[in-house]
């Protein structure tokens, strides 16, 4: 028996195969998850061996047949895993495109069900265009042989585990941004949540990695923004979070913005907590009750901070505070949206933005600079109605010069009736807005940050075609089925979709155009805190249609 589960509109398959031989049968499931470099082991298949009650036998060998588009040189080890522990493994020393790897073992099995996983470890550097397929898995037991044909299993894409739990002494990393500079340097930014997996307030710095070879290898983690022990408070009461990166395409200057919280405002009294020490356990968040309030003082409101690099991301300025420029005094909050900003054709710098009005209702807008980052100004909320709760957003400039803002919507959480990202258009840098026809009912989300990117594709004849790409967890309930979509008509329709990771992750993402044929994406995936993956445009859409 072979059972295949297909998810609507997702070009991926999870396959379960069973074959009987003697008294033992097998079930194999190959999930659609990437094979990650820099990870100790990737579970690429789960195995279930079934036998009648009372049968005792031994598993002697497991044979896994792989094929790979660019060859199997990326694979270093294949392992048999039980209960999360490697029980047998074999080295792979081949660069051929297809190979059967045999894992020798002698594992006694008792009971009707035995569960294992097939693990795969790559080299530290992989071909990011490679695709690995599990063709079949066979088992030799003392009760006979059994083979699972995995025809139809998903193609597994190679990628990089850029940040993992407890790496460099950091508990976890979240909220990614991604940019490519005029020199071709790729910069990945994120929250380095040093002590625990929690939003502000906490010991959180904005850190980053650089790649100067197109995303194949990356620098060690470096710090871009750290408020230290400002004001005499411990670092866990001076956290910065939710970063956004913006490259000035004309000058090469790079800006990173983030939200800074100094101390804690008591969620019940609304008053700033005095006398905080390293032992204090007080906590609040800028989106929680009384977490940030009207006014400008650091004891009243969270602050919008910016650092700048003029040397391709090697060093950064001291944090600059622009809160008074962008936040109306009566508002509780105005900060950037996480991800990445854009440079308009006329040179205007644009950060996607979010905040809370005086009644604490959430909104999305833009923060812009028309003088090369010297001064900044915020627009009006994209939706005037306070009942429309939007926040995290990203933007693109359309062919007519207008800006499309794509926003997270609170109404979508678990909503199966009408689920869709909020979308609005502005022609005057956020002073006025028009609701886009697709708003609220096209791009499915579980209420999570998502990313949008404009890519100008150069065709064979030299002309260009504007493509919009969108990446998010494509599910109304959970942050699963991380997928990339493409629109050929400026977001009116999104007919092409490719799932790259079906597993559960935190879901935030950001994209860049690596080259004419390739999209790079960093996202919070199922296999690591932050995954960097490259996707060929031709895998998302049929280039012949262009």
Q: Looking at the annotation, which residues are catalytic?
A: 392
* Side-by-side strand order, sheet with 422-426: 390-397, 403-409, 422-426, 434-435
| C-beta of residue 518 within 8 angstroms of C-beta of residue 536 | yes
Cβ contacts of residue 360 below 8 Å, gap of 6+?
Answer: 332
Task: In whole angstroms, give the CA distance from residue 381 to residue 390.
Answer: 9
| C-beta of residue 319 within 8 angstroms of C-beta of residue 205 | no
Say how many residues make up the chain.
546
Output the six-digit token pair for 182: 């005029």
Q: What is the phi/psi pair of residue 505, to 5°?
A: -145, 180
Tell me the pairing of strands 339-340 and 240-247.
parallel
Beta bridge partners of 80: 88, 118
| C-beta of residue 259 within 8 angstroms of C-beta of residue 237 | no
| C-beta of residue 205 within 8 angstroms of C-beta of residue 225 | yes
| C-beta of residue 239 within 8 angstroms of C-beta of residue 200 | yes
Task: In whole angstroms, give the CA distance from residue 283 to residue 264.
Answer: 6
Task: In whole angstroms, give the CA distance from residue 371 to residue 349.
Answer: 8
Task: In whole angstroms, give the CA distance from residue 542 to residue 462.
Answer: 18
């Amino acid at each position: 028996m072979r059972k295949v589960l297909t998810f609507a509109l997702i070009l991926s398959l999870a396959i379960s195969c069973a074959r009987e031989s003697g008294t033992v049968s097998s079930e194999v499931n190959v999930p659609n998850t990437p094979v990650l470099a820099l990870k100790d082991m990737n579970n690429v298949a789960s195995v279930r061996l079934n036998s009648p009650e009372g049968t005792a036998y031994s598993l002697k060998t497991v044979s896994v047949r792989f094929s790979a588009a660019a060859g199997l040189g990326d694979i270093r080890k294949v392992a048999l895993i039980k209960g999360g522990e490697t029980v047998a493994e074999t080295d792979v020393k081949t660069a051929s495109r297809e190979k059967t790897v045999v894992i020798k073992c002698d594992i006694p099995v008792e009971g009707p069900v035995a569960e294992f996983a097939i693990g795969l470890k790559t080299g530290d550097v992989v071909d990011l265009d490679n695709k690995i397929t599990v063709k079949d898995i066979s088992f030799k037991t003392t009760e006979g042989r059994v083979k699972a044909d995995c025809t139809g299993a998903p193609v597994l894409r190679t990628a990089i585990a850029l940040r993992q739990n407890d790496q460099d002494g950091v508990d976890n990393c979240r909220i990614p941004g991604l940019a490519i500079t005029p020199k071709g340097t790729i910069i990945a930014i994120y929250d380095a949540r040093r002590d625990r997996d929690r939003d502000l307030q906490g010991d959180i710095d904005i850190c980053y990695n650089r790649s100067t070879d197109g995303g194949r290898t990356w620098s060690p983690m470096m710090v871009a923004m750290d408020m230290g022990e400002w004001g005499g408070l411990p670092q866990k009461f001076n956290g910065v979070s939710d970063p956004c990166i913006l490259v000035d395409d004309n000058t090469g200057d790079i800006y990173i913005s983030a939200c800074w919280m100094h101390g804690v405002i008591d969620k019940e009294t609304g008053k700033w907590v005095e006398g905080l020490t390293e032992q204090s356990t007080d906590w609040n968040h800028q989106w929680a009750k009384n977490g940030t309030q009207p006014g400008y003082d650091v004891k009243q409101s969270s602050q919008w901070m910016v650092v700048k690099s003029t040397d391709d991301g090697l060093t950064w300025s001291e944090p600059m505070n622009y809160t008074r420029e962008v936040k109306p005094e009566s508002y509780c909050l105005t900060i950037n949206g996480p991800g990445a900003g854009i440079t308009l054709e006329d040179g205007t710098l644009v950060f996607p933005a979010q905040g809370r009005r005086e009644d604490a209702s959430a909104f999305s807008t833009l923060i812009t600079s028309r003088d090369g980052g010297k001064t900044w100004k915020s627009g009006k909320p994209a939706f005037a109605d306070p009942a429309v709760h939007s926040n995290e957003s990203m933007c693109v400039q359309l062919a007519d010069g207008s800006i499309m803002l794509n926003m997270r919507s609170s109404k979508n959480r678990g909503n199966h009736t009408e689920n869709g990202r909020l979308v609005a258009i502005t022609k005057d840098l956020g002073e006025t807005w028009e609701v886009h026809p697709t708003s609220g009912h096209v791009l499915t989300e579980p209420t999570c940050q998502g990313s949008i990117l404009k890519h100008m594709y150069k065709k064979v004849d030299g002309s260009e075609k504007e493509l919009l790409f969108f990446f998010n967890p494509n599910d109304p309930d959970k942050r699963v089925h991380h997928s990339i979509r493409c629109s050929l008509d400026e977001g009116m329709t999104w007919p092409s979709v490719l799932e790259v990771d079906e597993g559960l992750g935190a879901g935030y993402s950001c994209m860049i155009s690596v080259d004419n044929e390739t999209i790079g994406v960093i996202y919070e995936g199922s296999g690591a805190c932050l995954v960097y993956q490259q996707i060929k445009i031709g895998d998302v859409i049929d280039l012949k249609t262009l």
